[in-house]
Amino acid sequence: MELRHLRYLLAVAERGNFTRAAEDLHVSQPTLSQQVKQLERAVGAQLLDRSGRSVRLTDAGTAYIHYARRVLGDLAAADRAVSDVADLTRGSLCLAVTPTFTAYLVGPLVEQMHSRHPGIDLQVREVPQHRLETGLLADEFDLGIAFDGPHLAGVDATRLFTESLSLVVGVEHPDAGRSAAVPVAALADYRLALLSGGFSTRTHIDAYLAAHQVSPRISVQADSIQALVEIVQRTALITVLPDAIADSHLGLTSVRLEPALPARTVALLRRDGAYSSAATRAFLALAGELIRDRGYPTGGSGGSSRLSRKVAPT
């Protein structure tokens, strides 16, 4: 058995077809078929069901392929470790973030990372938090930035800072210069633009409003923070967003709510025991430095602390 046998099996299983798998692998179909049969003889079991219109894994193949993926994943990690260089002249990093952070944190982080280490290939993925955590466990992402858990078992979380939220209005809005806080009950008289359901920020806002038994008129629901920013800058509608977003846009200003919305803890997530490349270590140092420079509250006496609340995968 050789590594190519495992790669060939995975390709056929994923494509469900020898012809398409052969095209992907740049080998002939007879060669691919012969190699897979060699693997089946070595294993002593039929791994693929070839009787239907598409090729499918047998029960034995389903059990076997789990470990084949693990072997190839471990070897890929070994290759990354070998190619990793201490001076960061090359390398790669895949960062996953929940949607809130693309509005104010991703830009500065990428700017600093690219400025200091231009040889690092950085991939940024915006995903929902549950997808972020399963992706970390599957080694699809190196790091994640999301909100504090509870987290899936196997996901390690380190506190970065606390995020506060306020009313956000355009600079031409009558309340733009308001120094006094807006009582939560007064929101019943406002027209709001909010993120649509499914966003963790919207869930956070809805829980706050429900706790205070306030039902404001929601005139607009948007599927992106950038859309909300544009809407609030151009209309008399108000929204609720992290203070950091208002601070980073000249056309926006924040107004305090009374009582304030509960702050949220922002955490850096990674798979427990994951390989820490030079690029990962550089990014972690850079993130800590940027958070200190911007004065984001850490919710403690300084520095990040470990968060350990976890739940079993579902």
Give per-residue pLDDT as tens, 128-180.
Answer: 888 999 999 989 999 999 998 789 999 999 999 999 999 999 999 999 989 99
pLDDT of residue 220: 96
Instruction: Measure the CA–CA gap between 153 and 108, rounded to whole angstroms.
Output: 30
68-119, pLDDT tens digit by residue?
Answer: 988 988 888 887 777 666 678 778 899 999 988 998 999 999 999 999 999 8
pLDDT of residue 90: 79
pTM, two decimal places: 0.67
- Band of residue 33 on the pLDDT scale cut at 50, 70, 90: very high
pLDDT of residue 232: 95
pLDDT of residue 241: 93
pLDDT of residue 86: 65
- Mean pLDDT throughout 192-201? 90
247-292, pLDDT tens digit by residue?
Answer: 888 899 999 999 999 999 999 999 998 888 889 999 999 999 999 9
What domains lie within the chain, and their CATH numbers?
A: 3-83 (1.10.10.10), 91-162+264-311 (3.40.190.10), 165-258 (3.40.190.290)
pLDDT of residue 85: 66
Instruction: Measure the CA–CA gap between 227 and 233, rounded to whole angstroms.
Output: 10
Check pLDDT > 60 for residue 301.
Answer: no
Check pLDDT > 60 for residue 304.
Answer: no
Instruction: Measure the CA–CA gap between 92 and 142, rounded to whole angstroms.
Output: 9
Average pLDDT across the chain, whole number: 89
pLDDT of residue 48: 92
Check pLDDT > 60 for residue 197.
Answer: yes
Instruction: Measure the CA–CA gap between 264 and 279, rounded to whole angstroms.
Output: 28
pLDDT of residue 88: 82
CA neighbor of 123 nearest in space, from 138, 137, 103, 143: 143
pLDDT of residue 314: 37
Residue 177 tokens read as: 């210069």
